[in-house]
Amino acid sequence: MQSFFDKNTTGDLASKVLNDGSSIAESAGISILMILLNCSRVLIVLGVLCYFNFVLASLVLVFVIMYYLSLRSLNGKLRNSSREERVAFGDMQQAVVENIKGIREIKILKKGILH
């Protein structure tokens, strides 16, 4: 069985640490609060709409449900494209790291040949 470090390149690991770590920290700090605030806002607005016009409130509720369902179907596609982007970014970082290491090795070899 391959270890985690054998399966992932240096660029992949750097990409995960640099990008995913900040995304997780940001989501943990902000997402929960924003969900609570937005849900309470929707309930208040829906309550006010029901108070003024029940038919209009029902129509808005139908549109909100349709909006939610369409976003949910697009969410899977967005996750896949985001995953592909992270893999490509990891590959790019790996190439940069290898090129920088290669330049350093060439300089070391050049110094060895000249002396």
Is a pLDDT exceeding 90 seen at residue 66? yes
Helix %, strand %, coil % of the chain (to 5): 95, 0, 5
Kindly report the pTM of this predicted structure: 0.44
Q: What is the pLDDT of residues 8-59, one digit of tens each?
A: 666 666 666 666 666 676 666 677 788 888 889 988 988 998 899 999 888 9
CA torsion angle 100 102 105 106 (round to 10): -110
What's residue 96's pLDDT?
83
Q: What is the mean pLDDT of the chain?
A: 79
3-state secondary structure of 73: helix
Is a pLDDT exceeding 60 seen at residue 86? yes
What's residue 26's pLDDT?
67
